[in-house]
Amino acid sequence: MDHLPPYLFARIDELKGKKLRQGVDVIDFGVGDPDLPTPPHIVEALVTAARDPKNHHYPSYAGMLAYREAVADWYRHRFGVDLDPKTEVLALIGSKEGIAHIPEAFVNPGDVVLVADPGYPVYRTSTLFAEGTVYEMPLLAENGFLPDLAEIPAEVAAKAKMIFINYPNNPTAAVAPRSFFEEVVTFAREHGIVVVHDNAYSEITFDGYRAPSFLETDGAMEIGIEMHSLSKTYNMTGWRIGMACGSPEIVAGLGRVKTNIDSGAFDAVQHAAIAALTGPQDCVREACATYRERRDLLVSGLTELGFDVRAPKATFYVWMAVEDSMAFAAMLLDRAGIVVTPGIGFGTHGAGYVRFAITRPVERIEQALERMRGLDL
């Protein structure tokens, strides 16, 4: 426990709560939780399924076959990836759960896990739970926030059992070319490394960009697994439903851990997830249009204020360079009642950045920009 840091977003909630108790009107760009509601047809599917007593019992450990078939169909139509729903798809209680448990299946005490820095904090903490050793791969602006695999020392690569990658990326909002995924497959094959790709943001894209799946890459199915989620795509963060897809051996390893830890996802939620994956996708396009409008407003306003900030092609995050992430975030909260996430919370290489989650309406973004104009920035 001494090696586990406080969870970043729990700490942000504490600081935000303190300001709220003081009566401050807080504008929260911290946690990436969509403010848009879950589409009605998905809610209705849940309601119908929840009323059926057949769904009130323990669910399947691996997930309903109908849900896994819906995932496989979605992957085929969306990415052109063929999956066997029985052996290459596993239901998750949200992708975070899968990310947290996968090292338990493949990482022994002392094994090295390659983790992006900055990166989603759970990559690091899940490694620590498995008593693995974290090796930080710097994500630098000059490299397009892609890790430089050639810079990983040979002795580290030889000890590595797993690598976490995540594109479209949280927190930097960077996207990866297909050539990068090809490089990852080659690297993983050479060193016998399990690749875990977190693809939770593949559907939140702009300006004609379409994010690929890592599993589209030749050889990826042999050495990798992809964690995906309905949370961001369908505004279902609280529903806790996702999927792990990829190598049958890796999927089976994760499944073996899960059968000893949890009892599966509620069947009614899986019925709702089927409705999401197989139903109309207009809701996804409409959400992206909403985020694009917010992105453009925020990026334009921050640029006018003199900040170095780029409009992302994907995710609902804006990654902005500052001198000191903690000092800047504290200043915004104290003087303007604005919550942003300090980049240092994602790793040491995030120290010069803050992250805005554009999960607030245009009106609140305008208010935040107006407050920032009143500060000496």
- In tens digits, the chain (377 residues) has pLDDT values of 777 767 666 777 788 888 899 999 999 999 899 999 999 999 999 999 999 999 999 999 999 999 999 999 999 999 999 999 999 999 999 999 999 999 999 999 999 999 999 999 999 999 999 999 999 999 999 999 999 999 999 999 999 999 999 999 999 999 999 999 999 999 999 999 999 999 999 999 999 999 999 999 999 999 999 999 999 999 999 999 999 999 999 999 999 999 999 999 999 999 999 999 999 999 999 999 999 999 999 999 999 999 999 999 999 999 999 999 989 998 999 999 999 999 999 999 999 999 999 999 999 999 999 999 999 87
The CATH number assigned to the domain with range 8-38+282-373 reads: 3.90.1150.10
Among residues 313, 277, 84, the alpha carbon closest in space to that of 201 is found at 313
Q: How far apart are CA 63 and CA 61, in angstroms?
A: 6
Instruction: Give the pLDDT score at 170.
Output: 98
Instruction: Give the pLDDT score at 1.
Output: 75
Instruction: Give the pLDDT score at 3.
Output: 73
Helix ranges, 192-345 (H): 220-223, 248-259, 267-278, 282-304, 325-336
End-to-end CA distance of the chain: 39
Which residues belong to CATH 3.90.1150.10 in the chain? 8-38+282-373
Question: Is 40-278 in CATH node 2.40.37.10?
Answer: no
Which residues belong to CATH 3.40.640.10 in the chain? 40-278
pLDDT tens per residue across span 98-157? 999 999 999 999 999 999 999 999 999 999 999 999 999 999 999 999 999 999 999 999
Residue 7: strand, helix, or coil: coil
CA distance to 68, 88, 117, 269, 274, per residue, from 280 (Å)? 18, 25, 37, 18, 11
ω into residue 168 within 30 of 0, thus cis? Answer: yes
Instruction: Give the pLDDT score at 2.
Output: 76
Among residues 196, 183, 181, the alpha carbon closest in space to that of 253 is found at 196
